[in-house]
Amino acid sequence: MDLRQLTPDLAVAAQIRPEDLPALAEAGFRVLINNRPDEEVGPDEDHEAMRAAAEAAGLEYHFNPFTPGQITPQMITAQAEALASPGPKLAYCRSGNRSTVLWALARAGQEPIEELLQTAARAGYDLAGVRPLLESLARQDG
At residue 1, the pLDDT reads 80
pTM score, two decimals?
0.95
Q: Give the whole-number percent of the chain exceeding pLDDT 90.
A: 89
CB–CB of 107/114 below 8 Å? no
Backbone angle region of 58, left / alpha / beta, with phi > 0 → left and psi within -120 to 50 → alpha: left
* SS3 assignment, position 49: helix
Q: Give the whole-number percent of the chain exceeding pLDDT 70.
A: 99
At residue 139, the pLDDT reads 87
Give 80's contacts (C-beta < 8 A, 6+ positions apart): 106
